[in-house]
Amino acid sequence: MTSLTGTPRVIAGGVALTVLAIACTFLLDPYRNYQLALVAAYLCATAGLTLLIGLTGQLSLGHAALMAAGGYGYALTANALTDAGVEGLPRFILGLIAGVVAAGVIGLLLGLAAARLHGPYLAGVTLALVIALPAFTSVFVGVFRGDQGVQIAYDGVPEALSALIAVEQWQAWVAILVAGITLTLLTLVRNGKAGLRMRAVRDDEVAARLSGIPAGRVKVHAFLVSALGAGAGGAVLCFVTQSVSPGAYTLAFSLLLVVAVVVGGLGSILGAAIGSALIVLLPWLVQTGTGALSLPGELQQRLSGNLPVLVFGALLIVVTAVWPGGIRGALRGRKASGTAASGTTGHSPSEPISTEPLTTEPLTIQPVSTESER
Amino acid sequence: MSHRSAPPRSAITVAAASVMLIALSGCSTPAPAGEAASTPGITEETVTIGTHHPLTGPAAAGYASISAATTAYFEYLNEQGGIHGRTIEYVVKDDGYNPSNTQNVVRELVEEDEVFAVVNGLGTPTHTSVLDYLNQKKVPDLFVASGSTSWNQPEKYPYTFAYNVDYVAEGEALAQYAEDEFPGKSVCVLGQDDDFGTEFTTGLQNVLGADGLASVQTYSVSNQDVVAQISAMKAAGCEINMLATVNGFTALAVGTAAKLGYAPQWFSSSSGGDYPTLVTFLGADLAPKLLQGFVSTNYLPFGQDDEWRALFEEINTEYNDDAPFDGNTVYGMSVAYLFAEALAAAGEDPTRESLIEAISSGDLEGNGVVPLSFGDDSHAAFMGVGITTVDGGVQDFVGSTYVSDGKGKVSKDDVEPVSLSNEGVPED
């Protein structure tokens, strides 16, 4: 078991974690498996987003719309294939590809805009995308079916497995598998030369250009990669819930994705995982909590929709105040001080690209590269 | 470097191996086949059922009071001893009229709360998103609060039954009433951009002909502005405007038209035509003026001197904190009554199968102004409606009942409504 390094090491780590997660599904009841499948689907998107924000400093408030593109791409393709008599694995794979491609195309367009826009202007464009989504699905109601969204046929457990596992567990497997592949690929991008270039562009765009890095192309590339992740997430979410509708991809959800990656720890894949788990579990925990308090019915109704958002906001403030590196940074900080490792502050550019599977040195949140403009 | 990173990797290997071991031992007791012995949601003393309703969001103002009324009727019933000695517990979850939330809360009801049945899940777009799931899980999906024809597919969805009058039948009834009472007028429609609006429009066209509508407008719930649509109807010279709208949008349409100085004759589906609810949107001083002559369908006992209505008003006072009494209250209590009747018919020890059988038998009576249409090959609740109008701020039946044969033919009928017996408690 000596030195697996670089790409094989990341792949080995990815496979190990995927197998681990799939094994975990046996310990969970169906509803928890459903929640796990949701976490895995969101993780595809947050992992892409954390890469985008953390590595290139480009803020996207439109990732919900990219997920929706993945979801609609999957649903429309799956329905077309169902009509054509294609079922099972081919339908899923083709649908997934269509979803990822749909999100990729939009991501590419956004990326082209991103290469020309900075900070708030870029955020504005991505914001417009997610706000326009319900209007778009209403205008092309024949295809996207308005607020009602598109429904797809149920994909049951394959026969060979049907005696062994429940349908939720099967869905969790599929979601975990897609998330595992997506995350491994994203980690490879992140740890490889492309990731290094992204960081260089983020830290000092002028210096990067002077070193011969095509900053514009790197930014477009980052947006594209991140959108592909979101597309995969949206497609998987559609597979798990058998439907996609604009109501699932609101502005609030887009913001939630950003909050999740910031709370988890910007730039870190583990942070994205923590953030995705929070998106799924926090509303449920809050609801269970308020349910246990036996509050008057009307108050409980009002709280059930709003309290999770409030808790998220509070969490964001507390986490960024106490651990600027997010929860991931906090975890790492404790570990490092325990082993008296060589300092926990930030990363030095000369440090070799990380070799830990799926995670690297925490990126301290830096105010996005505006100060280095001149 | 490889030294530094060795521990985490071996830790992962060990963890993976141990989890695999636990997992394999878990395999020997497969989760899904386990619980055959008992029926979910049924104990010696209780029957637990659940639903999804919009308690927040765009549709909440029009419908949030339904589940409260249902709960009130069940409390009344429980105090009379329940059904076969069991009390009914009704779990209501908020989905904000957002299909993606519906998915979550319905899974929670089925997996976490282990409900016996889902009763009266509200909304076409919302409930569509859980239709496959509930049937896959073989959970009785009873009395969906929507008139979409999707619920009436016994072969494809054997566990799903509708409650509202079929939207197509409703459109047909209103179109026929328009032809009978307002001949020669130009008819238009404003519909929600989903199955609700589409099917209602189909019903209108079944009677008026494919080109019988002067203008067809749609709106989307996520956009609270219908100025464009109402202006288009005004420009098209529409004299009768048919509405397939939820309550909030009925009020919005009527209010917008008034602002534009446009006063057509309004015809509304039952889903968005509840006068007391519309008053809460339009205000008590304006509503009687704006809604004078407002035509709407109804299939539930909402007549001013109906004995069911009197009973429900009593229950509302005693068990629902004397909340405002409106069509939603009658609706919520009527659907609760129908469920109680079905549960009573399902036998001493009800199972999901016996419940489905009891409804499919066609023996349930309910309390509608037209008979129930449930049967082996029909999962539609009502195929006909009574017509109501508003006069001087009072909504009441005009006495005409229209029943569709499900094939585009409407007949004007005189049907005897189901009379009240045993103080509204189904007999075991």
A247 and B101: CB-CB below 8 Å?
A: yes
For residue B68, list chain A residues with Cβ-Cβ distance below 8 A.
297
Where are the extended beta strands (E) located within A169-275?
243-244
- Looking at the complex, does the CB of residue A33 fall below 8 Å from at least one CB of chain B? no
Which pLDDT band, with edges at 50, 70 and 90, does A296 fall under?
Answer: low
Query: Does the pLDDT value for residue B50 go beyond 70?
Result: yes
Query: Does the pLDDT value for residue B360 go beyond 80?
Result: yes
Which pLDDT band, with edges at 50, 70 and 90, does A300 fall under?
Answer: low
User: Are the C-beta atoms of A112 and A99 separated by less than 8 Å?
Assistant: no
Segment A30-41 mean pLDDT:
92
Which pLDDT band, with edges at 50, 70 and 90, does B152 fall under?
Answer: very high
Which pLDDT band, with edges at 50, 70 and 90, does B226 fall under?
Answer: very high
For residue A139, list chain B residues with Cβ-Cβ distance below 8 A.
none
CB count in 10 Å sphere of residue B273? 26
Percent over 70 (pLDDT), chain A: 85
Give B416 to chain A, closest Cα distance, Å. Answer: 37
What is the rounded distance in angstroms from the CA atom of residue A19 to the CA atom of residue B274? 56
Tell me the CA end-to-end span of chain B in Å, nearest whole number: 77
Query: Does the pLDDT value for residue A297 go beyond 70?
Result: no
Residue in chain B lying closest to A306 (CA)? B56
Task: Determine the pLDDT at residue A341.
Answer: 38
Percent over 70 (pLDDT), chain B: 91
Query: Does the pLDDT value for residue A12 go beyond 50?
Result: yes
Residue of B10, B15, B194 lying closest to A146 (CB–CB): B194
Task: Determine the pLDDT at residue A267.
Answer: 86
Provide the number of CB pairs (under 8 Å) joining chain A to chain B: 149
For residue B30, list chain A residues with Cβ-Cβ distance below 8 A.
163-165
Segment A114-126 mean pLDDT:
86
A138 and B129: CB-CB below 8 Å?
A: no
Query: Does the pLDDT value for residue A126 go beyond 50?
Result: yes
What is the average pLDDT value for chain A, to the nearest integer? Answer: 83
- Greater confidence (B173 vs A2) lies with B173
Segment A40-49 mean pLDDT:
95
Q: Do the strands B187-192 and B46-53 form a parallel or antiparallel pair, or are they unpaired?
A: unpaired
Segment B279-299 mean pLDDT:
94
Segment B18-33 mean pLDDT:
44
Query: Does the pLDDT value for residue A32 go beyond 50?
Result: yes
Residue of A141, A284, A305 lying closest to B56 (CB–CB): A305
Task: Determine the pLDDT at residue A286.
Answer: 80
SS (H, E, C) chain B: CHHHHHHHHHHHHHHHHHHHHHHHHHHCCCCCCCCCCCCCCECCCEEEEEEEECCCCCCHHHHHHHHHHHHHHHHHHHHCCCECCEEEEEEEEECCCCHHHHHHHHHHHHHHCCCCCEECCECHHHHHHHHHHHHHCCCCEEEEECCCHHHCCCCCCCCEEECCECHHHHHHHHHHHHHHHCCCCCEEEEEECCHHHHHHHHHHHHHHCCCCCCEEEEECCCCCCCHHHHHHHHHCCCCEEEEECCHHHHHHHHHHHHHCCCCCEEEECHHHCCHHHHHHHHCCCCHHHHCCCCEEEECCCCCCCCHHHHHHHHHHHHHCCCCCCCHHHHHHHHHHHHHHHHHHHCCCCCCHHHHHHHHHCCCCCCCCCCCCCCECCECCCECEEEEEEEECCEEEEEEEEEEECCCCCEEEECCCCCCCCHHHCCCC
Q: In this predicted complex, what is the ipTM?
A: 0.75
Give A122 to chain B, closest Cα distance, Å. Answer: 25
Segment B358-383 mean pLDDT:
92
Which pLDDT band, with edges at 50, 70 and 90, does A307 fall under?
Answer: confident
Task: Determine the pLDDT at residue A366.
Answer: 46
Q: Which residues of B185-217 are buried (b: 16+ CB within 10 A; e: fewer)?
A: ebbbbbbbbbbbbbbbbbbbbbbbeeeebbbbb
Query: Does the pLDDT value for residue A146 go beyond 90?
Result: no
- Looking at the complex, does the CB of residue A259 fall below 8 Å from at least one CB of chain B? no
A149 and B129: CB-CB below 8 Å?
A: yes
Segment B398-403 mean pLDDT:
88
What is the average pLDDT value for chain B, to the nearest integer? Answer: 88
Segment B252-261 mean pLDDT:
95
Residue type, B394: V
Task: Determine the pLDDT at residue B34.
Answer: 39
Any residues with CB less than 8 A from the CB of A244 and at least 6 apart, and which?
A: A68, A71, A72, A74, A75, A149, A150, A234, A237, A238
User: Are the C-beta atoms of B121 and B107 separated by less than 8 Å?
Assistant: no
- Greater confidence (B121 vs A359) lies with B121
Task: Determine the pLDDT at residue A361.
Answer: 42
3-state DSSP assignment of residue A42: helix
For residue A248, list chain B residues with Cβ-Cβ distance below 8 A.
98-100
Residue of B2, B20, B125 lying closest to A2 (CB–CB): B2
Task: Determine the pLDDT at residue B5.
Answer: 39
Residue of B12, B107, B129 lying closest to A34 (CB–CB): B107
B107 and A357: CB-CB below 8 Å?
A: no
What is the rounded distance in angstroms from the CA atom of residue A30 to the CA atom of residue A24? 12
User: Are the C-beta atoms of B161 and B143 separated by less than 8 Å?
Assistant: yes
For residue A245, list chain B residues with Cβ-Cβ distance below 8 A.
98-100, 125, 129
Residue in chain A lying closest to B221 (CA)? A147
Query: Does the pLDDT value for residue B25 go beyond 80?
Result: no
Q: What is the pTM of this model?
A: 0.81
Segment A338-358 mean pLDDT:
40
For residue A167, list chain B residues with Cβ-Cβ distance below 8 A.
136
Segment B315-333 mean pLDDT:
93
Which pLDDT band, with edges at 50, 70 and 90, does A344 fall under?
Answer: very low
What does each C-alpha distance from A137 to A142, A146, B355 come to in angstroms?
A: 9, 5, 39
Give A21 to chain B, closest Cα distance, Å. Answer: 9
For residue B132, list chain A residues with Cβ-Cβ distance below 8 A.
151, 153-154, 242
Going A202 to A208 to A212 to A215, the CA torsion angle's sign is positive
